[in-house]
Amino acid sequence: MLKHVLLLTLMAVLSAPAFGEPPRIIFDTDITGDVDDVLALTMCHTLADRGACELLGVTISKTNPLTASFVDAQNTFYGRPDLVIGVTRDATAQKRESKYLKLAESADYPHDLRNNDPAREAVDLLRELLAAHPDHSVSIISVGIASNMANLLKSKPDAHSSLDGPALIRQKVKLLSIMAGAFAFANNTNYHLEANVINGVGFMQTVAEQWPEQVPIVWSGYEIGEALPFPRRNINEDLNYRSHHIVKEAYLLHSGPQHDRPCWDQSSVLYAVFPDRDYFGLSSTGRVSVAADGFTRFSPTSKQGQLSQRDRFLTVTPTQRARVLEAIVQLTLQPPAK
Ligand SMILES: [Ca+2]
């Protein structure tokens, strides 16, 4: 009898997923100006190909007529031609020129979506995706301005859910992994005003002030990506398994062949998918506030007044830095599964 119970227990242990369910992720990007968004989206695909996460969809937070078309081209390149895409239609979201989105118009990258008009509205798509998945199961990776996150917070009950934005987030979101701000001496100053904040200060203030207390935010500050320069050599030499590679061409159009572009956005992807693998360290808990000039101030939880435990920011030691960079590089170079 005891033997039988032990056998059943062993079978249960072996059939359970070793590290729990892979995270469900939504990638919220301002894929226009910088190219780290392109590399970060590639990581979402290659991590999903490995079964490390489930990629639910992509939402775009800045305005350019080719954003959705480019994302569709990249999704198609990585074997997910039907992955849902939402774009912001907020007239106050930053409009941005791009050096690489024109690749969407190249015959080398076939795909369906030719412009943004047929794409979904981002907040409507976010609400649908959140409503469709189990409670506390969705990790949102936000690596641009916070237009979509702010507008999700302001959203009202609709056909997808009877909950307003904050209640829907409280019920469905497990984590917001966000690349924004600066929390250390960076760029030769202890007062670095980071682009994802200053290109939409009001949006980031809404997130900092109104995101539900119960749903953790982990901030990847400017200093994290700055410590992780993507090796140009890997772009030049290791993406030649296709005669035309959308990541290689986008990188070269943006940064040229002589630049190691910092991995700002990739850091938030890696943390969201592997929060327990010690790729990064974490600050104490506390609260981030966003000043009118875009400065991000972290105030630790203390008994002397600051009681919020919602926010933490990433840290990285030299040993972690080496591991993180190696993981990001390999995930970026990994060919599409199909
Ligand atoms: Ca970005």
pLDDT tens digits for 115-124?
999 999 999 9
Ligand 1 centroid vs 98 CA: distance in angstroms? 12
Q: How many domains does the chain have?
A: 1
Rounded to an integer, what distance in angstroms lies between the CA atom of residue 319 and that of residue 110?
41
Residue 21 confidence class, pLDDT cut points 50, 70, 90 = confident
- Above pLDDT 70, what percent of the chain? 94
Ligand 1 centroid vs 296 CA: distance in angstroms? 17
Q: Say what the pLDDT of residue 11 is.
A: 47
Q: Give me the CATH number covering residue 161.
A: 3.90.245.10
Q: Is the pLDDT of residue 79 over 50?
A: yes
Query: Is residue 150 assigned to a domain?
Result: yes
Q: Is the pLDDT of residue 15 over 50?
A: no
Query: Is residue 197 assigned to a domain?
Result: yes
Range of the domain at 139: 24-333
Query: Is residue 69 assigned to a domain?
Result: yes
Closest CA to 295 of 216, 183, 153: 183
Rounded to an integer, what distance in angstroms lies between the CA atom of residue 28 and that of residue 126?
10
Q: Which of 55-59, 184-188, 301-305 reaches the highest mean pLDDT?
A: 55-59
Rounded to an integer, what distance in angstroms lies between the CA atom of residue 83 and that of residue 230?
27
Query: Is residue 338 assigned to a domain?
Result: no
Ligand 1 centroid vs 142 CA: distance in angstroms? 8
Average pLDDT, the chain: 94
Please list, in sequence order, all residues whose beta carbon lies within 8 angstroms of the beta carbon of residue 326, skipping any fewer than 6 positions away: none
Q: Is the pLDDT of residue 265 over 90?
A: yes
Query: Is residue 3 assigned to a domain?
Result: no
Query: Is residue 309 assigned to a domain?
Result: yes
Rounded to an integer, what distance in angstroms lies between the CA atom of residue 147 and that of residue 60?
9
Q: Say what the pLDDT of residue 245 is.
A: 98
Query: Is residue 88 assigned to a domain?
Result: yes
Ligand 1 centroid vs 305 CA: distance in angstroms? 34
Contact 38, 48 (CB under 8 A): no
Q: Is the pLDDT of residue 17 over 60?
A: no
Query: Is residue 214 assigned to a domain?
Result: yes
Q: Is the pLDDT of residue 315 over 50?
A: yes
117 to each of 38, 66, 211, 213, 261, how far by Cα in Å? 21, 10, 30, 35, 31
Rounded to an integer, what distance in angstroms lies between the CA atom of residue 37 and that of residue 29?
6
Ligand 1 centroid vs 1 CA: distance in angstroms? 58
Residue 4 confidence class, pLDDT cut points 50, 70, 90 = low
Q: Is the pLDDT of residue 288 over 50?
A: yes
